[in-house]
Structure formats: C-alpha cells, structure tokens
C-alpha cells in the first residue's frame, strides 16, 4: 500500500516536472518554396537563441490557403504564424483576423521595408504581415537568341518591342518558341498575368461603382494581344502552363522570352538546373506605346499572426527574426547573396555585394514601378495590381481564368471569352451585393 502511494506521488511529481520542462512551441504554416525551406533549415539558430521550438506545417499553396482560412474563420487556433500573400493581408486585417505588427521592436526598422511591400501588407496604415520575400514581374529573355536575330532588347520595352522580339526568335524547326506566358486557369495563375496586361492597355476590372468592365474595348485589345502572342509564338499546350511549366521550358531553352515573377531570375540563372543560365537578360515589364502604366505585378509571401493565438509574443519574436536585416545577412553568410530572400528591404539593395547580382537591380526597379493603390490608368475602387483585393476575387478570378484558358486552347475567341467573363463577373458581384 505504501509502495502504491509513493508510486502515485512520484508519478505526479514527474508529470509536474515534465510539464514545467515542456518547451514553448510555435506552429508555422508555410509553402514549399526555396526561401521557406531555407528558413526552416536555418531556424535552429532561432531555437538556440530563444529556446522556442518550432513545428512546421508545409502545404501545397491552395491547400494552405484553404486550411488557413478555415482555421482563422473558425478560431481553430492550430497555427501561431501563417504564410499569407498580399491578397489576403488587407482583407483579413479588415475582418480582425490578424494581429497588428505594431509590437515589433524599433530595431526591426519598418521604414527599411520597401514602400510598395509595406503598402500592400497594411490596412489603414497599420502593417499586419511582414514580407518574407517579395516579387514583381519582368521580362526574362535569351540574349544569345536576340543577338542571333540582330535585335536588342530595350531596358524599358513596349508591347510592340515584345511582339517583334517574339516573332524574330520563334524557330519552330528547332523547337524554340518566341514567348512563354501563363495560360493555366486560376486567379493566381493566368489571371495574374492577364490582369497586368489589361492594366497596361488602360483596362480595369471595375469602374468606381463596381460595374464590371470586361466589355470595354481596352480589355478586348489587351486580351486579343495576349492571345495572338501565344497563338503565334507560344509553346504548344500553353493553356496548361503555369509558373513551373514555363520555368521548365525556359530552363530547357524552349523559350525566347518569359514574362513572369522576378524570383524566377535566380532559377533561370542557376547553372545546376538551367541550360541557358549564362545567356539570360532582364528588362522591365512592358507598357503600351503612349501609355505609362507598366504590366508588372506586386506580390509578397508574408508572415502573419492569426488573432486568437495563445502565443502572440513568441510569434512576434519569430517574425522579428525571420524578416530582419540580420536574417538576410545570416542567409548570405551561409548560402551566398544570390540565395537571400529578395524584394523586402531597401538596405539589401544598397548592399554593394547584393547589387552585383545580375537581376538585383531589375528586380528592385520592377517592384518600385508597381503601385498597388493606383493599379490602373482610370480610377478604380479597389487595391491590388494583378488581383482585386475583395473576398469575391478568388472565385471570379478563377472562373474568368477558365474562359481565358479555353481561349488560349482555341475553344473560344477573345470576344466570346470576354463576353462570358463579363456575364459571370456581373452575376457574381450582384449576388455579393455590390
């Protein structure tokens, strides 16, 4: 009996001791992009310094978005830090789903964050997500093919320059397509690109009273131009190509040009994966002759803290670590400057070592050329460049994207695709009460 009692007592003691020794642990939801994987690998430094353990939940982008939305909307509390994009940040902040990042310490130096990034991740002037890496879009082209064609790519090309270069570089016999562009349906896939083209042609999604504008002549001109580029100079099956498919084509030397995210620059110039690594040039996203809006987007993968987490302080500490200047230096020291997460801090671009990387300057210029608060030539009631920052966008963007993908596949004409897109966007917006 005595033995039994002492056993119970010692077990209880052991349990108390164990719970005391139980380390604080943060659960972080993120995507499997190279920069995030690097952060995961380097995060032991954070744990060593603070004693805070980290649990990583890495998910496919769409699953992540759905999981995180579901958890935040139901206060599930499964995540202490979540990776979100520039689309979600202002919408979720408005709903009170995110913790404001005002609590970051002074030495975090918020003013060092690129103004466009900070603007895109803020709601009413308060930052709700910290950019982990940022991107715009730009032109990546084959310098060797351009030279062979006797052409030169201007640093600030117009769409006419792009069309001429695409025509000159297309060589079907040798399986070289003049231009590779996104065609796969999705608000973050083809619609991101098509929306930037439309912006640069003077089109807009909605007028100031939220009336859909896809029946405008500007939209028709933009979409026809995009479709012609792909039909005449694009790769076969372009309707199914997203970022990764085009990356593959470009790395294998099948594309003369590729207009896409600036982060692709480090992939296409990496000699381990790319057969054309030493002959890639960069130029700003094009504008239309006579119009001054360029077709570049703005995006950031950012870290945010969901309202309702029990570990706000520790989460803030992690965000402070992962998006700090010191973290950029840590990556540079371990993996070289080319692997530093791009597009977040002004000081990075002032660093002479980083500035010597071939795509650094063009990336910065592209990001600076993007203004999420004034995305179009005519005024609009929304923010966001390659997206419209309203909750309905994911639905209407993807549905419209399917029409444009069908157009690239040759099943619809630009007129038909726009007519259908206009109808479905109008219905959806009416149903949503706009």
Pick between residue 110 and residue 172 the one whose CB is nearest to another protein.
172
Which among 243, 270, 272 has a CA at the least distance from the CA of 339? 270
- Take residue 397 and report the two structure tokens written for it: 């963007």
Question: DSSP secondary-structure letter at 274?
Answer: -
Alpha helices, H only, 129-275: 143-148, 159-169, 190-200, 217-233, 243-251, 264-268
Pick between residue 76 and residue 115 the one whose CB is nearest to another protein.
76
Alpha helices, H only, 260-358: 264-268, 312-322, 325-335, 346-350, 352-355
Q: 12, exposed or middle or buried, with CB in 10 Å at 0-12, 13-18, 19+?
A: exposed
CB of 377 to another protein, least distance (A): 29
Pick between residue 269 and residue 287 the one whose CB is nearest to another protein.
269
Tokens 């005595």 sit on residue:
2
Pick between residue 251 and residue 287 the one whose CB is nearest to another protein.
251
Pick between residue 253 and residue 381 the one whose CB is nearest to another protein.
253
| Size of the chain in residues | 434
CB of 316 to another protein, least distance (A): 20
Pick between residue 77 and residue 391 the one whose CB is nearest to another protein.
77
CB of 55 to another protein, least distance (A): 4
Tokens 């975090």 sit on residue:
108
Residue ranges that bind another protein, judged by CB under 8 A: 27, 29, 31-34, 37, 40-41, 55-61, 63, 66-67, 70, 74-79, 188, 243-244, 247-248, 251-252, 254, 261, 263-264, 267, 273
Tokens 């108390």 sit on residue:
16
CB of 335 to another protein, least distance (A): 15
What is the rounded CA–CA span in Å between residue 341 and residue 363? Answer: 12
CB of 18 to another protein, least distance (A): 17
CB of 57 to another protein, least distance (A): 5
Pick between residue 55 and residue 415 the one whose CB is nearest to another protein.
55
What is the rounded CA–CA span in Å between residue 258 and residue 260? Answer: 6
CB of 302 to another protein, least distance (A): 14
Pick between residue 28 and residue 119 the one whose CB is nearest to another protein.
28
Which among 256, 261, 278, 259 has a CA at the least distance from the CA of 269? 278
What is the rounded CA–CA span in Å between residue 277 and residue 399? Answer: 36
Pick between residue 79 and residue 87 the one whose CB is nearest to another protein.
79
What is the rounded CA–CA span in Å between residue 267 and residue 257? Answer: 15
Q: 3-state SS string over 345-394?
A: EHHHHHCHHHHCCCCHHHHHHHHHCCCCCCCCCCCCCCCCCCCCCCCCHH
CB of 61 to another protein, least distance (A): 4
CB of 141 to another protein, least distance (A): 20
- Determine which helix (DSSP H) or strand (DSSP E) holds 20, and give its type and residue range: helix 2-21
CB of 167 to another protein, least distance (A): 24
- Is-contact 282 359, C-beta < 8 A? yes
- Take residue 410 and report the two structure tokens written for it: 């040759």
Pick between residue 9 and residue 41 the one whose CB is nearest to another protein.
41
Tokens 């380390």 sit on residue:
23
């Amino acid at each position: 009996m005595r033995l039994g009692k002492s056993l119970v007592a010692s077990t209880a003691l052991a349990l108390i001791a164990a719970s005391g020794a139980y380390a604080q642990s943060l659960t972080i939801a993120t995507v499997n992009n190279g920069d995030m994987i690097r952060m995961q690998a380097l995060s032991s430094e954070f744990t060593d310094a603070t004693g805070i353990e980290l649990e990583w939940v890495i998910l496919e982008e769409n699953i992540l978005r759905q999981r995180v939305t579901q958890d935040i909307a139901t206060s599930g509390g499964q995540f202490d830090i979540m990776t979100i994009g520039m689309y979600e940040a202002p919408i979720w902040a408005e709903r009170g789903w995110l913790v404001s990042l005002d609590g970051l310490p002074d030495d975090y130096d918020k003013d060092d964050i690129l103004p466009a990034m900070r603007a895109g991740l803020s709601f009413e002037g308060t930052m709700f997500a910290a950019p982990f890496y940022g991107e715009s879009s730009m032109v990546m082209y084959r310098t060797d093919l351009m030279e062979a064609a006797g052409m030169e790519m201007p640093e600030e090309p117009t769409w006419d320059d792009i069309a001429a270069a695409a025509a000159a570089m297309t060589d079907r016999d040798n399986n070289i397509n003049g231009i590779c562009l996104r065609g796969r349906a999705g608000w973050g896939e083809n619609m991101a690109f098509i929306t930037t083209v439309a912006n640069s042609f003077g089109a807009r999604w909605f007028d100031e009273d939220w009336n859909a504008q896809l029946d405008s002549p500007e939209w028709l001109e933009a979409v026809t131009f995009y479709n012609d580029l792909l039909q005449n100079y694009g790769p076969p099956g372009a309707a199914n190509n997203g970022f990764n498919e085009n990356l593959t084509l470009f790395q294998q030397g099948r594309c003369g040009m590729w207009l896409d995210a600036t982060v692709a620059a480090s992939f296409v110039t990496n000699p381990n994966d790319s057969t054309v690594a030493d002959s890639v040039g960069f130029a700003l996203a094009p504008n239309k002759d006579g119009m001054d809006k360029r077709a570049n987007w703005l995006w950031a993968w950012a870290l945010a803290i969901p309202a309702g987490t029990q570990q706000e302080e520790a989460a803030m500490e992690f965000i402070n670590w992962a998006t700090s200047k010191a973290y950029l230096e840590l990556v540079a020291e371990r993996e070289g400057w080319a692997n530093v997460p791009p597009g977040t801090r002004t000081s990075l671009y002032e660093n002479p070592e980083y500035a010597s990387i071939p795509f650094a300057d063009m990336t910065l210029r592209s990001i600076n050329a993007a203004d999420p608060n004034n995305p179009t030539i005519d005024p609009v009631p929304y923010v966001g460049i390659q997206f419209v920052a309203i909750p309905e966008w994911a639905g209407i963007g993807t549905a419209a994207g399917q029409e444009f993908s069908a157009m690239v596949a040759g099943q619809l004409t630009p007129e038909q695709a726009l007519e259908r897109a206009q109808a479905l966007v109008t219905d959806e917006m009416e149903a949503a009460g706009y």
